[in-house]
């Protein structure tokens, strides 16, 4: 889910567009123009800041600049690389639905795109955020396997355990950093789809950047409507994959016993 620094008080009420029997979504000229603006701006922003795995996936997807791609075009690439597929969903879905989709290697994509009024900030994850922010990383085997594993965890988890698992997703899939090429580089979709957070996460001296530790991740509170004050940094994408070999529910229990860290935001 994309987040930015401050909320827009005049939010649009979004509804996902239908997918016809041929798997096609009909986008308007204005919506295609918004996609063009967003992808052109963000392609410039991520250069030198996105991780190698993301850029390789982006090249595989070969997303169009002048119009919004169809999910079936993206799915051909994902199926060939890691066996994943994108699935059209309403603007918001339940946690049960979300976890069950990931457990089946299906990534939920809301089929709407933000309006001009929300061009810089949107609480709901729109088509641009999901496709540009996440789909390129789903071509990477390590990232794809972790996401699949996470979905299966969520299906089994209790409500209380899901609260801790949500932090694991937030600080990896959405706001994860990688120590690569001698600098901080991005693999989290919440950063990659936001120009402000892309610069802030990689270049600003304000946020904390600490080594990835799953227990610490699950003990760390976050807010969805601010630039993140803290990021967890992987040494490689393989390190994220190695999480799938750990007893995550045991780590959740340990995080519960230790309790939450004090928030470092207002």
Binding-site annotation, residues for Fe cation = 129, 134, 174
Asked if 138 contacts 57 with a C-beta cutoff of 8 angstroms, the reply is yes
CB 261 within 8 A of CB 220: yes
What is the set of active-site residues? Answer: 129, 134, 174, 193
Q: State the pairing for strand pair 230-234/208-211.
A: parallel
> Cβ(50)–Cβ(186) under 8 Å?
yes
Are 35 and 113 a contacting pair, CB within 8 Å? yes
Q: Residue 47 burial by CB count (10 A; 0-12/13-18/19+): exposed, middle or buried?
A: exposed
User: Would you tell me how many other CB atoms lie within 10 Å of the CB of residue 122?
Assistant: 26
User: What are the beta bridge partners of residue 178?
Assistant: 185, 234
Tokens matching residue 258: 């230790």
Distance CA 45, CA 150 (A): 29
- Dist CA 167 CA 153 (whole Å): 13
Name the binding residues: 129, 134, 174
């Amino acid at each position: 889910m994309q987040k930015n620094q401050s909320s827009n008080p005049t939010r649009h009420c979004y509804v996902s567009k239908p997918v016809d029997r041929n798997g096609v979504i009909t986008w308007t000229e204005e919506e295609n123009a918004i996609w063009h603006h967003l992808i052109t701006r963000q392609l410039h922003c991520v250069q030198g800041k996105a991780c190698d795995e993301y850029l390789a996936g982006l090249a595989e997807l070969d997303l169009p600049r002048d119009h919004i791609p169809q999910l079936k075009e993206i799915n051909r690439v994902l199926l060939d690389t890691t066996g994943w597929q994108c699935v059209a969903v309403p603007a918001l879905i339940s946690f049960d639905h979300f976890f069950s989709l990931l457990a089946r290697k299906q990534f939920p994509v809301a089929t709407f795109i933000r309006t001009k009024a929300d061009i810089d900030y949107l609480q709901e994850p729109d088509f641009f955020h999901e496709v540009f922010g996440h789909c390129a990383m789903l071509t990477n085997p390590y990232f794809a396997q972790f996401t699949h594993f996470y979905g299966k965890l969520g299906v089994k988890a209790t409500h209380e355990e899901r609260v801790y698992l949500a932090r694991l997703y937030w600080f990896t899939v959405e706001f994860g950093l990688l120590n690569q090429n001698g600098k901080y580089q991005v693999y989290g979709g919440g950063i990659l789809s936001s120009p402000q957070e892309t610069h802030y996460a990689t270049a600003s001296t304000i946020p904390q950047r600490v080594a990835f530790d799953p227990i610490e991740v699950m003990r760390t509170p976050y807010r969805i409507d601010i630039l993140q004050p803290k990021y967890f940094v992987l040494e490689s994408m393989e390190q994220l994959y190695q999480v799938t070999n750990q007893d995550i529910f045991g780590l959740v229990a340990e995080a519960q016993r230790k309790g939450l860290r004090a928030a470092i935001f207002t």
